[in-house]
């Protein structure tokens, strides 16, 4: 468990799969993601089994939020493309519970991922890609400390239009807890 104030990150369980399928079939949630097609439970079960074969550092983590009584799952985040020679990795995140957008949960989850990446995994560079038409995500990443470093023009075709993809990163020397 990676513990924050209002947010913690825990390992995903097979029993989370129905929740993941539910979130990832919401067109608003996947608007900022590469997913475009309806997602079945069987496909998500395959994804889960493949995920378990990946290095443990690349396993996604469930974002849980403490609200009143207890902790409940609101989304998913994690590292991918970890390169141990360059000590770099990419991050991804989604909050599937739309009622909990704009409450600082994404920012706190990203801050926890950065701390984990730098202080536990000993990474030197953590980066991400975000669609230019996703101002909520861009603002969230800026608040967590990500720096803009580039733009790939019209790199994605999504919902009937070409969208620029922005590159953002945090270098270990940029970062302060």
Instruction: Tell me which residues touch ligand COA (CB under 6 A).
Output: 29, 32-33, 75, 93-95, 101-107, 130, 134-137, 139-140
* Min dist. Cβ of residue 27 to ligand COA (A): 11
Q: Which is nearer to ligand COA, 60 or 106 (CB)?
A: 106
The b/e string for 46-61 (b: 16+ C-beta within 10 A; e otherwise) is: eebeeeeeeeebeebb
* Min dist. Cβ of residue 23 to ligand COA (A): 9
Tokens of 39: 């997602």
* Min dist. Cβ of residue 85 to ligand COA (A): 26
- Element containing residue 106 per DSSP (H, E): helix 105-115
Tokens of 129: 């890609």
Q: Which is nearer to ligand COA, 142 or 174 (CB)?
A: 142
d(CA 63, CA 56): 17
DSSP, residue by residue, 14-72: GGGHHHHHHHHT-TTGGGGSS--S---HHHHHHHHHHHHHS-GGGS-EEEEEEETTEEE
Q: Which is nearer to ligand COA, 12 or 75 (CB)?
A: 75
Residue 103 gets which letter from DSSP?
S
DSSP, residue by residue, 111-131: HHHHHIIIIIS--SEEEEEEE
Q: What is the CA radius of gyration of the chain?
A: 16
* Min dist. Cβ of residue 40 to ligand COA (A): 20
Q: Which is nearer to ligand COA, 105 or 170 (CB)?
A: 105
* Min dist. Cβ of residue 128 to ligand COA (A): 6
Q: Which is nearer to ligand COA, 123 or 140 (CB)?
A: 140
């Amino acid at each position: 468990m990676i513990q924050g104030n209002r947010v913690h990150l825990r390992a995903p369980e097979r029993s989370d799969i129905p929740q993941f399928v539910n979130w990832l079939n919401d067109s608003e949630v996947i608007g900022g993601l590469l997913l475009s097609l309806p997602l079945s439970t069987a496909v998500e079960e395959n994804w889960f089994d493949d995920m378990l074969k990946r290095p443990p550092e690349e396993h996604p983590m469930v974002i849980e939020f403490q609200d009143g009584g207890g902790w409940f799952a609101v989304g998913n985040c994690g590292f991918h493309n970890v390169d141990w020679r360059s000590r770099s990795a990419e991050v991804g995140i989604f909050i599937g519970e739309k009622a909990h957008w704009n409450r600082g949960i994404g920012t706190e989850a990203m801050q926890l991922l950065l701390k984990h990446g730098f202080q536990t995994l000993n990474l030197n560079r953590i980066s991400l890609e975000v669609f230019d038409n996703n101002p909520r995500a861009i603002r969230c990443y800026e608040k967590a400390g990500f720096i803009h470093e580039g733009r790939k023009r019209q790199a994605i075709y999504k919902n009937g239009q070409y969208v620029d993809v922005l590159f953002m990163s945090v270098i270990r020397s940029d970062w302060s807890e």
